Structure 1
Amino acid sequence: MQFKKVNSESVVQLVINSLTDAMLARELRPGDKLPTETELAESLGVGRNSIREAIKILVYLGVLEIRRAEGTFVCEGFTESMIDPMIYGIILDTSDSYENLMELREMMEVGVMQIAMEKYTEEEIKGLKVILDRMEREISKGPENVEEVFKADNEFHNAISMMGENPLIDKINRVAKTLTHAIRFNTVKTMLETGRGDELFAAHQRLYQIMVTKDQSDMSTTVRNTYFAKVGIKAIEEQ
């Protein structure tokens, strides 16, 4: 296996880049054992300390794992720690804005629903109705029940995401949900406090109907109504 040699600038990052390139090229695959620190240092033309630091970072990110007495291996499967760098990168992006996050969330939700429509089972759609009914009950308990309504809201959208049976989309969708968590919570809270809980439920009921009928004609508008109600946006902007 041949890794790209690196120069002296940002050596640790360049080691990370070289290992990442090997994974992208499928020269390193999930479950593969990495060469030893000495072998990597020789192959990349850098010191062992740089190799060690790069491996530590990739272990922290959930890309590599160290098995005692065995060596360092490429991880198999997704870990939650992989989400963190993407979230921080978006948070620290000065060009980011509320509108950008809302557009990202809407795009993800619409795409997830389109895929879910093609794959869901009758049992899954019945399960979605159970969650929808629980959301209606929680909304009826009044504005002080925000946490439970929001929980039901999340479970509803999670259930649709799981119907798609696509782990890659589900992972990216989780990032979008994490980034918009506060915004979505405040929207739900504001709608309940202003007596618009019925509107929130109606929007989700319409999403359920769209899933059942597979009629996508007003899906984008309906998705937007479940998260981006004007009263919610106004409340958030005023904070």
Structure 2
Amino acid sequence: MAVTDDAILRIKEMIVSGELRPGDRLPPEKELGERLGVSRSSLREAVKALEVIRVLDVRRGDGTYVTSLEPRLLLEAMNFVVDLHSDQSVLEIFAVRRILEPAATAMAATRLDDEQLAGLEALLADTQSTGPIEALVEHDLAFHQAIVEGAGNEYLSRLVEAMQSGTQRARVWRGLTQHHAAERTIAEHRAILDALHEHDAELAAALALTHIAGIERWLREASEAAHS
């Protein structure tokens, strides 16, 4: 194992064990390097790597701190990675969404209160089948994310949010080329929301699965046609 990798693991162990907690300042570089048995250069590389994935926050002239370690922060890097993927890889991303979102929708069906449901109604009412397709995509993303956040699981919310980031181009493409895609999207959202109003977890999950699988199926067919 590279010295830098070992330093990263040792710092992680300090955080996992509770020796370093969110918001804590790391010991001075010289002290920490001696404790971990690594050179200053290797320690700096380890700190830089942990800063990139938002585990550490390096404040010039102040020191290095453990971040809040909140899911939204830690999963930010995933958005970047997902956006780098090719259109073919988007199919795999949709496959992940097909697993996660129906389960999240079922959870949300049992938890959403009247205020949250009203918020979803407002989102749906503001969605237009005509106009720039980018606007429909933005509303679609907001609608899906609001449902997932209603499940009450922060890690699940942030993970799905990262997955949706990588599928935005595919949705725009679909909206530009597939006839009546906008109208169908709005109708499917209406059906999902009606099931959520009824707090019918099984039906809401089934409708979410059908909705996502439909986009995935179209994208797969379009990808195969483009490469045939």
TM-score of the superposed pair, with normalisation by structure 1: 0.80
Residue matched to 2:77: 84
Query: Map of 1:79-228 to 2, 5 A cutoff?
Result: 80=73, 82-84=75-77, 88=81, 97-135=89-127, 138-139=128-129, 141=130, 145-191=132-178, 194-228=179-213
State the Cα distance separating 1:67 from its structure 2 match: 3.1
**Aligned-pair RMSD on alpha carbons?**
2.8
Contact 1:190 1:232 in 2 (8 A): no
- The alignment-based identity, stated in percent, is 24
TM-score of the superposed pair, with normalisation by structure 2: 0.83
Change (3 A) 1:45 1:39: same
Change (3 A) 1:201 1:170: same
Moved more, 100-109 or 76-85: 76-85
Q: Runs of at least 4 residues of structure 1 off by over 4 A?
A: 79-82, 89-92, 96-99
Change (3 A) 1:85 1:105: closer
CA shift digits 1:56-86 (9 cap, x unpaired):
2212221111234432110114465743257
The gaps in structure 1 that reach 5 residues or longer are: 1-8
For the pair 1:21 / 2:13, whether they are aligned, the reply is yes
State the Cα distance separating 1:175 from its structure 2 match: 1.7
Contact 1:184 1:227 in 2 (8 A): no
Please give the alpha-carbon distance, in whole angstroms, between the structure 1 residues aligned to 2:108 and 2:205: 15
Please give the alpha-carbon distance, in whole angstroms, between the structure 2 residues aligned to 1:179 and 1:196: 19
> Any idea what SS the aligned residue of 2:49 has?
helix
Contact 2:103 2:205 in 1 (8 A): no
Contact 1:116 1:161 in 2 (8 A): yes
Please give the alpha-carbon distance, in whole angstroms, between the structure 2 residues aligned to 1:187 and 1:25: 47
What amino acid sits opposite 1:18 in the alignment?
R
Change (3 A) 1:85 1:150: closer
The gaps in structure 2 that reach 5 residues or longer are: none
Contact 1:108 1:176 in 2 (8 A): no
Q: 1:42 aligns with which of 34, 40, 61?
A: 34
